[in-house]
Each structure stands twice: as structure tokens, then as C-alpha cells.
């Protein structure tokens, strides 16, 4: 049975959260309950909200949780900028994570538009065709082979594998 784990935005969010966890391992101990904790919580919020919205089985709820995930993504970007300003993240880390955030943000926006307009797609090839998913840095997880269709012809979420 297909589910939220098959959504590319969830997979990219998961990789981003893992990248953030890896980055924050080197943050100073006095930031453990400050910037480290807030950055980790914001990053994990992205895939968690995607999963929670999917589980609500309602396009309206799914759209709302996708919007919350986008808000959390903006929070992650802001915290990465602050971490870089404080010298906790390198410019290279900053640039890579911001590039990853931009890709995920575009994909979330596109998915929100499609779901909120109830656009039914049997094939997510166009949705998944955005350039360069999260890069395969040492902090990233392996990429998924493909994503199943998101919606059935009647507009309900597809829950079966093809």
C-alpha cells in the first residue's frame, strides 16, 4: 500500500532533517538547548507535517499541513543563516542546505497548488521532474527510484501500488 513515504516531498524532507542532524552534531554544547534544538525540531517538522497531513485523508487537511511544512522549511532556512552568522556552519554547508531547501520549497509549493486546486494526476512525472533533488552529500540518504501517482481519477489519494 502506497503512503506518505512514497511522496518525493516527504523523502526530500527526511533527507534535509538528517542533513541538519549531521550538521548540528558539531555545534557548541552551549547551543544544545538553543539553536541546535530549534533547528532540529524545525527540520523534523517538515516531513512530519507532510506525513500527518497525508494521514488525515482530506485534501483540505493535506493542503494545510503542506503549508505548515513550508513554514517550517522557512524556519530552517532562517536558522541555517543564523548558524552561519554565528560561525557554527560553513558557507559551504549554508549554500548546500539553502539549495536543498529551495528545491524542496518549490516542490511543496507545486504540490500545494495541485492538491488545493484538486488537479488529478495519474502520473507525477511532471511534479517529480524539478531539477536536482537534494544533493547526495555525505549527509544525505540514498534517493528513491520513483514516486507513485498521488491522486486517483476521482480526486482521492491513491493508496495502492501499481
Q: Using one digit for the tens of pLDDT, what is the confidence trace for 29-58?
A: 999 999 999 999 999 999 999 999 999 988
Q: Per-residue pLDDT averaged across 64-68, rounded?
A: 97
pLDDT score for 142: 36
**Pairwise CA distance, residues 156 & 154, whole Å:** 6
CB-CB neighbours of 131 under 10 Å: 6
pLDDT score for 140: 37
Where along the chain do its domains lie?
4-117
Could you tell me the pLDDT band of residue 158, with boundaries at 50, 70 and 90? very low
Q: Per-residue pLDDT averaged across 90-110, rounded?
A: 97
Per-residue pLDDT at 138 exceeds 60: no
Class of domain 4-117: mainly alpha
Per-residue pLDDT at 127 exceeds 70: no
| SS3 assignment for the chain | CCCHHHCHHHHHHHHHHHHHHHHHCCCCHHHCCCHHHHHHHHHHHHHHHHHHHHHCCCHHHHHHHHHHHHHHHHHHHHHHHHHHHCCCCCHHHHHHHHHHHHHHHHHHHHHHHHHHCCCCCCCCHHHHCCCCCCCCCCCCCCCCCCCCCCECCCCCECCCCC
pLDDT score for 118: 77
Residues counted in the chain? 162
Q: Per-residue pLDDT averaged across 72-82, rounded?
A: 98
pLDDT score for 2: 75
> Is the pTM of the predicted complex or chain greater than 0.85?
no
Amino acid at each position: 500500500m502506497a503512503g506518505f513515504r512514497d511522496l518525493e516531498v516527504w523523502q526530500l524532507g527526511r533527507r534535509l532533517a538528517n542533513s541538519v542532524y549531521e550538521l548540528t552534531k558539531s555545534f557548541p554544547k552551549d547551543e544544545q538547548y538553543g539553536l541546535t534544538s530549534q533547528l532540529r525540531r524545525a527540520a523534523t517538522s517538515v516531513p512530519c507535517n507532510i506525513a500527518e497531513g497525508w494521514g488525515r485523508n482530506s485534501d483540505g487537511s493535506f493542503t494545510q499541513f503542506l503549508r505548515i511544512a513550508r513554514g517550517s522549511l522557512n524556519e530552517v532556512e532562517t536558522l541555517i543563516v543564523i548558524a552561519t552568522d554565528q560561525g557554527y556552519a560553513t558557507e559551504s554547508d549554508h549554500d548546500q542546505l539553502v539549495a536543498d531547501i529551495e528545491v524542496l520549497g518549490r516542490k511543496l509549493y507545486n504540490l500545494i497548488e495541485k492538491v488545493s486546486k484538486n488537479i488529478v494526476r495519474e502520473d507525477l512525472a511532471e511534479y517529480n521532474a524539478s531539477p536536482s533533488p537534494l544533493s547526495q552529500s555525505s549527509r544525505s540518504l540514498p534517493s528513491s527510484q520513483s514516486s507513485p501517482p498521488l491522486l486517483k481519477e476521482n480526486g482521492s489519494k491513491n493508496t495502492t501500488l501499481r
